[in-house]
Every structure is written in structure tokens, then in C-alpha cells.
Amino acid sequence: MARIDGSEPCKIVYSLFEHEYLGYLMEPHMVQLNPDGSLSLAHRRIFEKSAKSFSAYLDENDLHLIRLLESCNQENIIRQFYPKPIRPSEFFPRKYTEELRTSIRLYIEDKLNEALLLMKDKLVFVMGNEGNPAAFPIKIAEEPCSVLFHFRRNTDGTRYFPTLKYKGQRIEFMFKNALIVSNQPAWMLLNGILHYFENDIEGKKLLPFINKRFIEISPSAEDNYFEKFVAPLIEKHHVYAEGFEIKNEKYTATSLLTLQPDILGQPLQLSFSYGEYTFPFDTNANISASVEKIADKYIVHRIKRAHQWEQNQLNKLLDLGLQFQSPNYLFAQSYTQLAEGEEINYATFDWLNEYSFALEEMGFTINISENTKKYVIGKNKINLKFSEHNDWFDVYAMVQFGSFQIPFLELKQSILQRKKEFTLPNGQIAIIPDSWFVKYTDLFALGEGNNELKLKKHHVGLIKDLTESGISETILSRRLQKLQDVDTIEDYTIPENFKGELRSYQKAGYNWFNFLREFNFGGCLADDMGLGKTIQTLALLQKVKEENKDRLTSLIIMPTSLIYNWQAEAKKFTPKLKVGTYLGSERIKEAAQFAAYDVVLTTYGIARVDAELLQTFYFHYLILDESQNIKNPQSKSAKTVKSLKSKYKLVLSGTPVENTIGDLWSQLSFVNPGLLGSFTYFQKEFIIPIEKKQDPLKLQRLQALIKPFVLRRTKDQVASELPPKSEQVFYCNMTEEQEKLYDETKSYYRNELLQLIASNGSGKHALPILQGLTKLRLIANHPKMVKEEYKHDSWKFNLILELLENTLAKGHKILVFSQFVKHLTLLKDALDKKEIRYSYLDGATRDRQQAIQQFREEEDTRLFLISLKAGGTGLNLTEADYVFMLDPWWNPAAEQQAIDRAHRIGQKKNVFIYKFITKNTVEEKILALQGKKKDLAGSLITTEESYAKTLSREDIEELLR
């Protein structure tokens, strides 16, 4: 092959050749022109990349053809159809299976057909034996050939053969060295012309006649042959028949939908009836043929199909939510999602029942295939009615399956056991819709009674959610409906001896408390920390005192750290309440003493120890503060408080959900027993679907159940009640020595952790992952926290000291938070050297109250160092207007709790939050990861170990990069 010069005249030619394995292909070649304009022997195979050098000789069609044909050369074919790199010399002898060969050839022929139709005005050749691309000129046919199949039947059998016409003239192709270049659709090279055909006939229908005049069918094979070959041929091609009759017929069509429960996925199949003939939907069907044999005679009924009308009927089904899969399967869009424990999927049943009436209106007849169960098809409906009594609701319901009506209570076990099939009295089988399992499982699980169904009054949220138009006045009074919207509850008068003023949202909470009391409901006040849950509760208890001549004693159980706060707040806002404490090793263990007080304060620890004593007293209110302490229903605290007796119950918590929504169950089951069913039921119906499967319907159901009894207001909602706060992030570099130690540690843990994860996954190694990341975080703050002999500085630590001194010099009070006691210890040492006074609180501090009072009351103590675990809750420190966050925490909710110590009700000054992040460390990446894991930014997961369990391999790699 001579080298060609792109600066001299050239021509592109397209050359047909046969590949040893891939069959017939076309290649583009650039050929140098002789001085007289003829093609020389100098040529070059041209590709998309090299085409730029010859752009002057190529048009847009050429560029497209080059790309199209390049996709079919062997390297690209292997790359597309085989997943691993492999040489052609290995691929074709070893990997080129018959199945793969068929798939590849179909792909090539599709590309080849497109290319050949674009070559009508191009130079096309057959390649010579020595690789000359312009050896034998050929032309692309100007128009398609027509094919007429001749059938001649007599007593000896049936013969058939095709005849071809090109431009209206019959052309001979038998015994003329014709060449079938492509099968689907057929391209045939004959007498220097590449022919294509009407109706995209397959090449294999012509191939037998290249060297044969006709094919003969014996009488014994005719029945099968007419059914399997002649009729399909008549549907698509022109046929001339002798010895049997072809009848052209036309009918008005009707639509049929047939359910096929015995086929995987339980599809619907669409077909159309034309008179007595029924044909399946076919995207290309204009004609269908049906064979009839009478005595020894064959009649082929050739029925004209209403193709566009059939397509419109299909489009109507797609508009109703079906999806189409070739050749003729229609599925409900969710058919692949098998419910747990199901062997088959019922999504298509549900769809069919939902739209059965609409389908009939559109002219569809619905059938179910034979040899299967007798399913009833029709719209399913439930008619629910509720009757209100003093403490419960009677539930009356009838269910309709098609034309059958049965009491809804008969479905109880089917719905609770998630059984889709329900046998009707006449033996037919009804399919319970998926939506009923979501919507009505709670009704049966939480309801009581076998012969009749009753719901307790605290299930008002469930009842409201079950009634499409809301609960009418005949079911619930207007006042009870107001539980759904706290802002519509009427005002209750503030008690006369309440000192101070309730803010608007606090007044709404006080009203809500009183409303719950009126209907004997329990509730959970879940306002953000710092919004005054204590004040709202004290106002309620003062109201109780003023309404009753006899003293009614209420018990409030809380963590030890909150006792002082409750005493101080009661003294300030409700001085007329007689408040006693049941605390200390010297406490008098006699229940009778409680009667002398309006309110008794005690701790979870004391309650556990003295459970038997407390059980002997009947309290008016039993109130739990920081009620997440009983989130574990198996804990002794949870079991203890549930054993105590009282008329009313309340729980208070800024974070009722800490690790999982399972935390809610114990708290709400305490205030309203039975509200959420058993824990096993709650776990199966809510925890797993919501947390593992992110099921929005289950979340909606849970919200409906708990909404009337959980009141939560966030700081964002009451922002006008609080002074502004602003946050500033200080990014710090590492010192050279610090960076060296950090990188060494990071490399070690990256190798160790990624090897562990590769073996068993990240979820099983939360602890070592957490240990490794924690060590890196310590080094990012100050290497001395992991290496006592470290003698160098930390840029971040120095910046913190500098900003502390500057802020203190301006007279501000500052809260300093870290989750590392070692960090606070380093800071203490530095402050001691500078003779700066501070107050200090961590888990080992014995006298919390003394530390708090020192910061609050001493003018020269304007700095409070606090560890996260010791000071994240239960502190009201509005004296401070600056908050220093020394290190980032996994969950922003934990940071917010710390900030709430200062930015809460009672704060008069603007609050400034300083956060310190060491650049190019795990600290900086924690912030980015928090943004990615938005589900963790709320209150679902706050513990570090829980967070570590959610980290994927990609997350770990990013943190250790």
C-alpha cells in the first residue's frame, strides 16, 4: 500500500469485504487520484481521528459514515461485547460463542443497513484479494426490490419460490452468483448492484433460492407449514397462491386484556379481536393471517388490522401507569418490587383492580388466563364509619371486592399477616391492595376486640388519617379535633400566682398541656433546648394547685444535673408551689411525706432504687424531664417509671429521638399506653420500613399516630423571640512537625482500616474506625494529646488562646466546648500559666452546681470550660454571649445542644459562635461529610459509634485521603 499525500487530490471510497468471523463489513478508504482523475493504487484506511487530514475531500455524510463503520471494526466490537481487555487472536477462537456471534451480527447489520442507505451517491467497491479497496465497482440500488412469493399446491404437496422486481422489471437471481451480504434486513449483491427490499425481508427467506428453483413441502407437513410459515409470510409480504384461497377481510376490532398469573411478573397481554379472530398486539402489525382447513382445503383469512387504533389503545394503558416490554407484556410499574415473603408479585393485580371500571369505559374486556385460580377483578372499596363513646371509638366497616361485600373485620388476619390473597365465600380469590396493608395494619394491630373493633380515644390521629374528608362532628367534637393544630386550642387563663410572662409559643404549650388534661391524654413536649419547657410545665402545675382545694402531689423525675435548675425556676416563676426533693443518701424513705408537697423532684437513679416505695403513692402528674433516658424499653429506668401510678403523664425532651425512631416508642407508650402497639409491632411496621427502606407512607402513618401528642417547636420557628446569633469558622494550618505526625498516623490507619473493611465491610468495624479517626482528630487539635513528649506548637491551640484573651479583654463571658477532656486539660494548663480564672465542668466534676454558680455569679470568672458529655444538656448559661467550639462533632445536633446553653430564652445579648477547624485534616472533611449525610444532620443519630456504623468504604477513603 503506497503512502498517500493529503495535500494532493484524493477520493473516499467504501469497500465491501468479508471478515473471517464477523461476516460482511464495509470500510472507508482514502484513495489518491491519478493526474487524469482516476483512482490510483495508493490508498489508506481512514478513521475518525485521521479524517481531519482529509477534511477537504469529505462531506458531513462521509464523517458520519466513518464513525458508523468504525464502530463495527473488530477492536470496537470486542471492546463493546466483552468485559475484559483481550486480543482478537484470543477472543475469536476462545470466546466467540454462537450466542455472542448472533448478538454481534445483529448489531453490525443494524449499522450496516444505516450506512448502505447513505452511500447511494458514494463510490462503492468490492475489495480485492490483495486488499485493494477499489477492485470491483458496485452500486447501491436506487430503490427497494419488491418480492412476490408464489405458492402452488396440488395433490403432491406445495411448492413455493420468490420472484424479484427492480424498477418494475423482473430480475433473475437464481444461479446468478447472488450474494446475501446482510440478513436482517436483507441486502443482496447481484450483477454489481447492492439490492435492498420492501418490508425489510430477511435474507434467510431468499438464501435457499440462490442455487435452487423452488422448495417443496410434502402433504404430511402442510398443516404445520401453513400455520408456521405461510400465514406469517402472508401477513408481511406479497403472495400469489394456487391451490388454496386467500380471503381479504375487514372487521371492527375490540380490545382484550388478559392477566397471565402463571408467567413471571404476572403480566397483562394485550390482544385484539377482529370478528372471530384474535391476534396479540404487534408494534408493526398492519395485516394478520389466520389459517382454516376445511376437509382437504386451506383457507387463509387475511385480516386488515387497525394499526393506529391499536397503538392508541396501548397508549391509553401506558397513560394509566403500565409499562410495555416486547414482545407483548404489560406490567404495573412496580412489578419488580416483590414484597417480603411473597413468591409472586401482585402489583399488576392491584393496577387492574384500581382501573377496572376505567378500562371498561375505554372498551377493554378483561380476562384471566385459564389453568389458574379464579381471581375476582373489580374496584376494591372500604366504607369506614366511627362511633364515639367515652373512652373509645367503635369501628364499623364493609369492604367491596368487585360485586362482593364482606365485613372488613374478616380481613384482620390477612392484613396483619400480609397475605394478599383472600378467599371469598363463593371460592373466588380477591387480591388485597398493597395500600391497605400500609393504611389499615395499624387499625387492626392497635384496635381491640375479635367480634367488634374498638380504638382507644388517644388513637384520634389514626382515625383522622383514615377518613378522607377529616373527622366529622358526628365522630369527634370540634374541641378534640384541635389536638391536630395547637394554634386553634382556646386560651386557658394563666394561674394567678405565676410570676413572669409566657411568650406566645410558651402560652400555646401551656394551653396544649391543659387541653390534654381535659381529655385525660398524656403528651410529649419536645421543644428545642432553651425554649422553656420547664416554665411551661411549672405554669401547668401552678394551675392545678389553684383549681383544687386539696393538695395534689406531682412527681418530676430528671437527671441529677437538672435538680438545681428546676428548683431555681420554681422559686422564680411559681413561688407558691411547695417543692420538695427526694434525694441523697439521707432521704427519708416514707411515701407519706410526698403528700406535704405540690411537686416532688427526684432523679432516675433514685427512682430505680426506690421503685417499690414510689409505687405505693398515687401521684397527680408523673413528669419525666430529659425523657430520652427511658428510650430503651428494657432498661430499668423505663420499667420503673411505667410501674408508677398517676392520673396524668407528661414527658419533656429536646431530643426525644437520639439514635433511632425506636426511642419514641418507650416515651410515648409511657404517656399513652397502647398508642403505638407492642414494641415488636412498632419495630416491624415503622422502625424497619422508615429507617432501612425510607418508606414515606410508613413515615406518614407514624406522624398521623403521634402528631396529637407531640408538640415540638424549633428555634427557627420562634426566632423572633431570641436575639440573633452568628457563626464564624476559623481555619487553621498545621505546624510542620504536626503535619508530619498527622500524615504518618493517617497512612497507618488508612492501610489498617481499608484492609479491615475489604474483609468484612465497614459496619462491623465501627469501633476501630472510630478509634483511628479519633486519633487523627486529636493530632489535628494538638499532638500533645496523643504524644506527651511532643515539644512543638499547634497553630489552632495558639489561635484559640489568642482569641480567648482578646474576647475576655472586652468584658465578654465565654463558654468553651470540646468533646476531648484532654483538650480542655491542655487549655487549663495554659490558662493557669496566664493566671486567667475559669470555671470547669466535665464528667468527673463532683460539684456541678458550684462550678455553674462560680461562672454565673463571680465577676472575674468569665470563662467556662465544658466537656460535651457533661454540659450538652441541663445548663442555662445565658450570662455567656460567646461560644467557642474547639473541635467539630460528628452530628451538628450535638453542636447545637452546646450552643443552646447560651442561645436560649432569657438571653438578651447577641450570641457569637466561633468554630475552629484544622485545614487538610479529618476535621475539615467531617464538615463536608455532614453535608452529604443530611439524614444524620437531624436528631436521628447523635452518638459517634452510630455515626461510624453509617460510614461507607468511600466515606472512609475520603476521610483518610
pLDDT > 90 fraction of the chain, expressed in percent and rounded? 47
Split at pLDDT 50, 70, 90, the class of 654 is confident
Span of 30-39, 284-293, 386-395, 510-519 with lowest mean pLDDT: 386-395
* Number of other residues whose CB lies within 10 A of the CB of residue 848: 17
Inform me whether the pLDDT recorded for 619 exceeds 50.
yes
Distance CA 851, CA 831 (A): 17
Of 453, 485, 437, 450, nearest in space to 386 by CA:
453
pLDDT at 24: 96
Q: For the chain, give the mean pLDDT.
A: 85
What are the distances in angstroms from CA 584 to CA 66, 544, 588? Answer: 91, 28, 9
Measuring CA to CA, how many Å separate 285 from each of 246, 256, 274, 302, 331? 18, 16, 13, 12, 21
Residue 752 · residue 746 · CB < 8 Å: no
**What are the pLDDT digits (tens) for 854-898?**
998 898 999 999 987 777 666 778 889 899 999 887 666 667 777
CA–CA gap between residue 397 and residue 614 (Å, rounded): 44
Q: Please return the burial class of 104, using the count of CB atoms within 10 Å of its CB with bins 0-12, 13-18 and 19+.
A: buried
C-alpha cell at 95: 470466546
Tell me how far apart the alpha carbons of residues 699 and 585 are, in angstroms, rounded to a whole number.
46
In this structure, the strands spanning 287-294 and 277-280 are: unpaired
Q: Which three cell numbers stand for residue 739?
A: 503535619
Q: DSSP labels for 617-643?
A: SEEEEEEEESGGGG-STTSHHHHHHHH
pLDDT interval class at 844 (50, 70, 90): confident
pLDDT of residue 937 exceeding 60: no
Tell me what pLDDT residue 405 has.
Answer: 86
Among 1-5, 197-201, 943-947, the range scoring the smallest mean pLDDT is: 943-947
pLDDT score of 933: 41
pLDDT for residue 245 = 92
Residue 613 banded pLDDT, cuts 50, 70, 90: very high
Q: Distance between CA atoms of 921 and 917, rounded to whole angstroms?
A: 9
Report the pLDDT averaged over residues 283-307. 90
> What does the pLDDT read at residue 960?
59
Positive or negative: CA dihedral 818, 824, 828, 829: negative
**Cell numbers linked to 789:** 513528649
pLDDT tens readout for residues 19-71: 999 999 999 999 999 999 999 999 999 999 989 889 899 999 999 999 999 99
- Average pLDDT, integer, range 709-731: 78
| pLDDT computed for residue 908 by the predictor | 81
* Phi, psi of 57, deg, nearest 5: -105, 10
Q: Write the secondary structure of 299-311 as one string of H (helix), E (strand) and C (coil).
A: EEEEEECCHHHHH
CB proximity list for 670: less than 8 A, separation 6 or greater: 522, 624, 627, 630, 638, 641, 642, 649, 651
What are the residues facing 24 on neighbouring strands? 18
Phi then psi dihedrals of residue 703, to 5 deg: -60, -40
Spatial separation of the C-alpha atoms in residues 855 and 262, rounded to whole Å: 77
Query: Among 243, 330, 232, 219, which residue's Cα sits nearest to residue 281?
Result: 330
Cα separation of 191 and 774, whole Å? 81
The C-alpha cell 416515651 sits at 667
pLDDT digits (tens, 9 = 90+) for 257-282: 988 766 666 788 999 999 989 999 98
Taking the C-alpha atoms of residue 347 and residue 450, their distance in angstroms, rounded to an integer, is 30
pLDDT value of residue 53? 87
C-alpha cell at 923: 476535621
Phi, psi of 613 (to 5 degrees): -65, -50
Q: What are the b/e assignments for 337-359, b being 16+ CB within 10 Å?
A: eeeeeeeebbbbbbbbbbbbeeb
What average pLDDT score do residues 100-123 get?
94
Q: Provide mean pLDDT across the span 684-694.
A: 83
Which own/partner contact pairs does 72-75 have at CB distance under 8 Å and 24+ positions apart? 72/22, 72/25, 72/26, 72/107, 72/108, 72/111, 72/112, 73/25, 73/27, 74/19, 74/21, 74/22
Given the C-alpha cell 406518614, which residue does it identify? 700
- pLDDT: is 127 or 390 the higher one? 127
Most confidently modeled range among 263-272, 723-732, 823-832, 901-910:
823-832
Q: Tell whether the model's pLDDT for residue 479 goes beyond 60.
A: no
Among candidates 377, 369, 374, which has minimal Cα distance to 258? 369
Peptide bond into 185 cis (omega under 30): yes
Q: Report the pLDDT value the prediction gives residue 434, as an integer from 0 to 100.
A: 79
Q: Is the pLDDT of residue 899 over 90?
A: no
The pLDDT score that the predictor gives to residue 956 is: 59
Which residue spans within 122-237 are E strands per DSSP? 123-126, 136-140, 146-154, 157-166, 169-171, 179-182, 187-190, 193-196, 215-217
H or E element in which residue 394 lies: strand 392-401
Reference 458, options 438, 483, 440, 441; nearest CA is 483
Q: What is the pLDDT of residues 206-257, one digit of tens each?
A: 999 999 999 999 999 999 999 999 998 998 889 999 999 999 999 999 999 9
pLDDT value of position 141: 96
Q: How many angstroms separate the most distant Cα atoms in the chain?
A: 125
pLDDT of residue 154: 93
Report which listed range, 133-142, 259-268, 518-527, is most confident: 133-142
**How would you class 278 by CB atoms within 10 Å of its CB: exposed for 0-12, middle for 13-18, buried for 19 or more?**
middle
- Do residues 553 and 571 lie in contact, with contact meaning Cβ atoms separated by under 8 Å? no
Q: Distance (Å, rounded) from C-alpha 185 to C-alpha 128? A: 25
Residue 144: how many other CB atoms lie within 10 Å: 15
The answer on pLDDT for 470 being more than 50 is no
Residue 446's alpha-carbon distances to 392, 662, 684, in angstroms, are 12, 17, 14
pLDDT of residue 129 exceeding 90:
no
In 706-818, at which residue ranges do the beta strands (DSSP E only) sit? 710-711, 725-732, 814-818
User: What local confidence, expressed as pLDDT, does residue 337 receive?
Assistant: 46
Say how many Å lie between the first and final Cα of the chain, rounded.
53
Rounded CA-CA distance 136/469 in Å is 81
- pLDDT-derived band at 81 (thresholds 50, 70, 90) equals very high
